[in-house]
Amino acid sequence: MGKRMSIMLVLVLVLSLSASALANWTGTITLWDAPRWRDENDDQFHWIKAKIAEFEELHPGVKVELIETPWAELGEKLSIAIAGRAWPDIVPVDISGAINRTHLEQGVVEALDEYLTEEELDDFFPGALQAYTYKDKLYGIPMSMTVHVMLLNLDHFEEAGVEPPVDGRWTWDEFVEKAKALTFDSDGDGVIDKYGFSTYILQGYYEAWPFFYMDGGVPIADNKFAFNSPEAISAIQKLVDLKFVHGAAPVEMGSADVGGTFRALAREGERFVAIQPWNTWAIATVTGEGVNHLPNVMVAEYPTGDLGSPVTIGGAGGWVVMHQSNKAKKDVVVEFAKFLSTAEEQYTFATEYGTFPARKSAEAMDPFADQPHMARAAQMVEHSIPLPEHPAWAQIDERIQAELQLIFAGEKSVEDGMESAAAQVERLLR
């Protein structure tokens, strides 16, 4: 009995020493990050450098190696690192997209569910968590969000004698009536030269897409093409009719001319469209100085369709922890990722970097107290949904957008265009 007790005591001692080792891991964490906002020395990595110094001071023996990586090169560089099984410990995810599903299926990204309490999870906006969730597991920590909004030139509204939507909210029918009333001949020469609405269609850009979601449609459902569903066809047709039936959009609407579309809203001397959807980066442009400054602008929601509530598309930036073979190191790496994404840091990103917090508690700090247009846009985060995540999304997107361009050019019906897209996309979804 005594010998058995001695063995048990030895086991307890070994386990205690192991737990202590886990709690006192030391070593190097490799972090990739991309440029953020500049400081007075023109350093776009000053924020992350300061956070590294703070973390190292709190954790003696832990060093963080920063690899400065341009956003445009990050994806390809990470794929190469994974192929060589030499990935970093933490990588950032840009606000323009979700995590790479291929990497998840390769098992090189850590699930983080065990590291966040229910209380912590409840502090994140649902759309932010959704962007990092795959097969009911959380594969990252959301840091920031962005959304698409409607920008309204209120001088155009005033010239047409049209009241803007109350609180920036409107139904589809109200939107159509206002867009029609904002379309008129401003100089009396018998030719319409002012229009209510316009947007563009281009691979990788999604300003028009919240309209296609407004009746309940989505591009992919249950790994099947779904923009040919009755709900999606209905919504796409409504926007097509705004141009061809109601005449409230110029002939250029639905083309790939991004620059020309923006100039039609904001450029001094060229403003002939009253309403356009844009990502929130455009808010700073139209409220700043220069030729694209709109003296009188409103930020509004997308109109509400059959779904019964407004919809917008957004992205969620954040941090991903790559696969760790050492549990003790993994614990410290995850702690560092959480350290970078506190409510306080998200508030800093909102005020300095122009993104929206992914945490409700950070939004409650009122980061846009002196930026009413950004504050209004921030309210739309709760209506935001991410784009589909699929390894072949770039090719899927290319085919859908090409068919949408043909539809808005009047060369195909909505039904024919989406059936053609379905035939092409289904091959990519197999």
Are 172 and 235 a contacting pair, CB within 8 Å?
A: no
Residue length, the chain? Answer: 430
Are 367 and 351 a contacting pair, CB within 8 Å?
A: yes
Cα gap 231→348, rounded to integer Å = 40
Cα gap 350→356, rounded to integer Å = 5
- In a shared domain, residues 270 and 207: yes
Cα gap 424→320, rounded to integer Å = 32
Pairing of strands 384-385, 312-321: parallel
Domain assignment of residue 412, yes or no: yes
365 DSSP assignment: T
Residue 322's pLDDT is: 97
Domain encompassing residue 170: 158-312+389-429
- In a shared domain, residues 341 and 400: no
Tokens of 193: 């030269």
Per-residue pLDDT band at 198 (split at 50, 70, 90): very high
Q: 9 pLDDT exceeds 50?
A: no
Cα first-last separation, the chain: 63
User: 240: closest CA among 388, 42, 44, 416?
Assistant: 416
Per-residue pLDDT band at 389 (split at 50, 70, 90): confident
- In a shared domain, residues 46 and 56: yes
- The pTM score is 0.75
Give the position of tokens 């709109």. 294
Percent with pLDDT over 90 in the chain: 74
Tokens of 105: 């299926």
Are 416 and 410 a contacting pair, CB within 8 Å?
A: no
- In a shared domain, residues 304 and 321: no
- In a shared domain, residues 307 and 262: yes
What's the gap between Cα 107 and its chain centre? 24
For 123-264, where are the E strands, in sequence order?
133-134, 137-138, 141-153, 195-197, 220-221, 224-225
Are 421 and 400 a contacting pair, CB within 8 Å?
A: yes
- In a shared domain, residues 179 and 107: no
Domain assignment of residue 1, yes or no: no
pLDDT tens digits, one per residue of 142-183: 999 888 999 999 999 999 999 999 999 999 999 999 999 999
Can you tell me whether residue 407 is helix, strand or coil? helix
What does the angle CA 79 – CA 84 – CA 89 come to, to the nearest 5 degrees?
70
CATH code assigned at 65: 3.40.190.10
- In a shared domain, residues 376 and 273: no
What's the total number of domains in the chain? 2
- In a shared domain, residues 360 and 296: no
pLDDT tens digits, one per residue of 287-331: 888 899 999 999 999 999 999 999 999 888 999 999 999 999 999
- In a shared domain, residues 246 and 282: yes
CB atoms within 10 A of CB 423: 12
